[in-house]
Amino acid sequence: MASTFMSRTPLSMLDFCLVRKGESPGQSMERSVELAQHAERLGYDRIWYSEHHNMSTIASSSPAVLIAHIGAKTEKIKLGAGGVMLPNHSPYVIAEQFGTLEELYPGRIDLGLGRAPGTDQQTLGRALRRDPRSAESFPNDVLELQAYLAGDPIIPGVKAVPGAGTNVPLYILGSSLFGASLAAKLGLPYSFASHFAPTHLKEATAYYRANFQPSQYCEEPYVIAAVNVTASDSAEDAQRQTELVHRQRVRAFLGQRGRQISDEQLDTIVNAPQGRQITDMLRYTAQGEGPEVVAYLEQFKELAQADELMISFQAPTHEEVLRSMEILANA
């Protein structure tokens, strides 16, 4: 029996906990449970949830709470934050939260760390009450968090309970040389957000591998590269789905800026420079039937120098996402 792509390359997935039109956030979370259970059956390695705030179509504002719920509904698939935006939080609180998760679901918890706010400046400054300059302390915050999880806190007499001694695996997330440099310096795995920020992929992963310094947590460099997938039973249907996804992406992006656009206006904008700039964020997309998707992912893996691929499934409906997951898993 021929091996599948999944048997040769670890495949994981991102779940943005999308709130689709007419849905409540609770219904979106129910679908996230179904996605995790489906991914577990199909053999995906892990699922990550990303912290976003003040976004009407994304319900993963609290990855730790979401992971706690989904962990109880699954048995073995790894669950993690992809990621927690650390400048929004105290490292101590994150150590307690993910230490709690590790105690509940031993060996199943990942903690990806980013330094972007995951929201707009108004939400960051006034609602989250964080200083935009706090991102400057990200490297030190990572070290402080790591120390809490190791049970060797930087602040004397302050212990994370739960958290101390759990050594929850940390991953540095990024889309530039900053994250690549930090991950290499600290000897941690590096995850590149090429599913929406493709520009510096090759440069960043090459720098990370060339400058990696082994640590007690990671002896060799480990790269996770994110990539979009639209897999269908026919090339024509995959193209149809991609076109709809592009329209949804442009509408959502412009909607964040307060613009309400009609279908007729959307027809024009999608093909205009403004629309193409938005859809170019999805530059790295494997599209088509199973064999075409695998061929693309093989090339992408080599381009990104990746050890593992983090899949962001792009489809207009939940049912089409489930089918896309199946096609890739069996290809």
**Per-residue pLDDT tens digits for 197-237:** 999 999 999 999 999 999 999 999 999 999 999 999 999 99
Domain containing 66 — which CATH number? 3.20.20.30
DSSP per residue, 162-196:
TTTTT-PPEEEEESSHHHHHHHHHHT--EEE-TTT
Whether 265 maps to a domain, the answer reads no
Do residues 230 and 313 lie in contact, with contact meaning Cβ atoms separated by under 8 Å?
Answer: yes
Which tens digit of pLDDT belongs to each residue from 154-184?
Answer: 999 999 999 999 999 999 999 999 999 999 9
**Secondary structure element (H or E) that encloses residue 288, with its range:** strand 285-288
Whether the per-residue pLDDT at 271 is higher than 90: the answer is: no
Range of the domain at 110: 5-236+283-330
Query: 81-99 as b/e, with b when 16 or more CB fall inside 10 Å?
Result: bbbbbbbbbebbebbbbbb
Smallest CA-to-CA distance from 287 within 299, 296, 300, 298 is with: 296
CA distance 311 to 288: 15
Strand partners, 271: none
Out of 54-58, 238-242, 268-272, the most confident range is: 238-242
Whether 165 maps to a domain, the answer reads yes
Segment 34-51 shows an average pLDDT of: 97
Do residues 94 and 145 lie in contact, with contact meaning Cβ atoms separated by under 8 Å?
Answer: yes
CA distance 254 to 221: 38
Which tens digit of pLDDT belongs to each residue from 229-246?
Answer: 999 999 999 999 999 999
Q: How far is CA 293 from CA 196, 243, 289, in A?
A: 18, 17, 6
Whether 229 maps to a domain, the answer reads yes
Whether 246 maps to a domain, the answer reads no
Its pTM surpasses 0.85: yes
Residues 6+ apart with CB under 8 A from 53: 61, 88, 117, 118, 119, 123, 124, 127, 128
CA distance 80 to 47: 6
Do residues 163 and 95 lie in contact, with contact meaning Cβ atoms separated by under 8 Å?
Answer: yes
Q: Any idea which residue has 């949830």 for tokens?
A: 49
Strand partners, 11: 309
Whether 257 maps to a domain, the answer reads no
Give the pLDDT score at 57: 78
Whether 191 maps to a domain, the answer reads yes
Whether the per-residue pLDDT at 87 is higher than 60: the answer is: yes
Whether 159 maps to a domain, the answer reads yes
Which tens digit of pLDDT belongs to each residue from 301-314?
Answer: 999 999 999 999 99
Whether 291 maps to a domain, the answer reads yes
Q: Return the minimum-mean-pLDDT range out of 137-151, 191-205, 265-279.
A: 265-279
Whether the per-residue pLDDT at 124 is higher than 70: the answer is: no
Q: How many domains does the chain have?
A: 1
